Structure 1
């Protein structure tokens, strides 16, 4: 009888090292696009109570603040709503 591992939990993990792959302006632009894409994915699953609904964690505060400066106010407000909902 097998008595080993019953469950494996996978989580997304990443690391930001500004300047390692690209110069700072390029990294800022990439993270702005990543944030927009993640927000779109969270919107897609916003009404789902499933454990499989998309959730995302902001990797660095500086990149979020940079996105916040350039994003339209309604998009920022929606980001805040989704964050409060645990998305």
Structure 2
């Protein structure tokens, strides 16, 4: 016997075959053996069935992708095994706002906190190799999906420019000019409250020198 303990619409959507499906999290208690289940969703005269997959013994959370419901109102969720309804739960459905989420990769420079400075620099050289590879691998992707990266300070870039292979340095400069790789202004992540005006100005010199 299955018990549908909770139905919780999330703010997440997935695009499938030209339509949006909203991710809904359900909590199911199974007091028996593993069993295949599905959910029937009723909104007014509309009905749809979505497979949940195997329900394990005990209480568990499962995610289903529900065709987007654009109107507020009561929606019934029925949990089925075969043709038999195991449990039902009605909720007041409230449409979720559509958000666009942009993920930006960024490095954090903790010089000397995580390892010796010379070892940290070598690690960042390796990071730079991967950054350039990811930029290259996504060259033919849609503009909004291309890999981008933000470098927090210029000290690691200066080391890479001085020590790295010439062809990779040229790639780095090219992607920076394209806006795919961003370099922030300061030499490192200094505690600016402890810096005087002259120190703050001179912290900009290395980044501007790369231009």
TM-score (norm 2): 0.37
Task: After superposition, give the CA deviation of every residue in 1:6-35 in whole Å (9 maximum; x if it has no partner).
Answer: 215243344211111111011000001101
Task: After superposition, give the CA deviation of every residue in 1:31-50 in whole Å (9 maximum; x if it has no partner).
Answer: 01101110111111123333
Point out which structure has higher relative CO (alpha carbons under 8 A, 6+ apart). 1
Does the alignment pair 1:65 with 2:165?
A: no
Match of 2:145 in 1: 52
Deviates more, 1:44-53 or 1:63-72: 44-53
Aligned-residue CA RMSD (Å):
1.9
Q: Going by fraction, where is strand more abundant, 1 or 2?
A: 2
Structure 1 residues without counterparts, runs of 5 or longer: none
Matched position secondary structure for 1:81: helix
Q: Within 5 Å, which residues of 2 pair with 1:1-87?
A: 1=72, 2=94, 5-7=97-99, 9=101, 10-87=103-180
Q: Answer with 1 or 2: which has the greater Rg.
A: 2
The aligned length equals 87
Q: Going by fraction, where is helix more abundant, 1 or 2?
A: 1
Q: Contact conserved, 1:46 with 1:82, CA < 8 A, in 2? A: no
Query: Moved runs in structure 1, 4+ residues, more than 6 A?
Result: none
